[in-house]
Amino acid sequence: MQVIRQIVDRKNIKSIFVPEEFGHKVEIIVLPLKEEKISIESKAVIKLQEKTGFAAHVLADEKEDVWNEL
């Protein structure tokens, strides 16, 4: 796996927030993202779980949606 490490000025980093407490110089480490692959069997199990009575009737019930109260 290839890794990129570089020390840069904190103020030059524009895409993420870096707190001032980190100081003037920070070390950036860049790693490649590993894509996770879901097996066909796992996808089938996920689809079956979506169709259960609990998921369809209890979790989908508007009265069970606690976020409506906020």
2 and 29, same domain (yes or no): yes
Residue type, 13: I
d(CA 8, CA 22): 12
d(CA 70, CA 62): 14
d(CA 27, CA 3): 13
Domain count, the chain: 2
Can you give the residue range of the structural domain that contains 62? 40-69
d(CA 59, CA 39): 26
45 and 23, same domain (yes or no): no
Q: What is the pLDDT of residues 14-53, one digit of tens each?
A: 888 888 899 999 999 998 877 777 788 888 887 777 777 7
Measured in whole angstroms, how far is the alpha carbon of residue 62 from the centre of its chain?
Answer: 26
46 and 61, same domain (yes or no): yes
Please give the model's pTM, rounded to 2 decimal places. Answer: 0.44
